[in-house]
Amino acid sequence: MSYVDRAVELIEHASRLAVPTGATFTSDAGTLNIKRDALAEHKAVQHEWRFIARKLAMLSRFQEGWDYAHSQPLQAGAQANYLEWLATVSPDRMGDAEPMLTDEGHIRLEWRQNGYTSIAEIGADSLYLAVLAPVRSDDDAEEYESFEQDALDRFFRNGILRS
């Protein structure tokens, strides 16, 4: 069994959530099939994917109040959106796709590039993108009232906040 297959199993057993478009779920077999072809091509990706799957499984077990009284568990839709997007991430950027849980139950990503910190928060029905620049007056952010995978792709791959 490959690392990718084992990583997917970790997600399966952590919780049964809404699955992304392009994935299939059957409750009888408990099988989650994610677009794995792109991920399975590179051993480095398999290693990163395994780590990410374990972290996502851990995050999916957090319950309300995990950080403070009103912090929320991982939203099923946020996880589905994240997994759909993650299947498109190139091998050399997989390390930047490590998920963190926000108090609202969203998935947060942070990465640094050329002195800038980029932040993406993926919700079930929202997306927040921000750039923290070396000079505070150059900071910028964009908020979407739905999950816009194209906007996240553009921001993650090219650093472009707005189209």
In a domain, 31, yes or no: yes
The verdict on residue 119 lying in a domain is: yes
Average pLDDT, the chain: 80
Residue 15 sits in which domain range?
3-158
What's the pLDDT band for 1 if we cut at 50, 70, 90?
Answer: low
Contacts of 49 (CB under 8 A, 6+ apart): 3, 4, 7, 39, 94
What distance in Å separates the CA atoms of residue 4 and residue 88, rounded to the nearest whole number?
14
Q: What is the mean pLDDT of residues 130-148?
A: 95
Residues 33-48 as b/e (b if ≥16 CB within 10 A, e otherwise) read: ebbbeebeeeeebbeb
Convert the pLDDT of each residue in 15-59 to its tens digit.
444 444 444 444 444 444 444 444 444 444 455 778 888 899 999
pLDDT of residue 138 exceeding 90: yes
Any idea which residue has 């910028």 for tokens?
Answer: 140
Query: In degrees to the nearest 10, what's the CA dihedral of 79, 84, 162, 138?
Result: 50
Number of domains forming the structure of the chain = 1
In a domain, 96, yes or no: yes
pLDDT at 14 over 80: no
With tokens 């409750």, the residue in question is: 27
pTM: 0.71
The answer to whether residue 163 is domain-embedded is no
Q: Is residue 63 part of a domain?
A: yes
74 within a domain of the structure (yes/no): yes
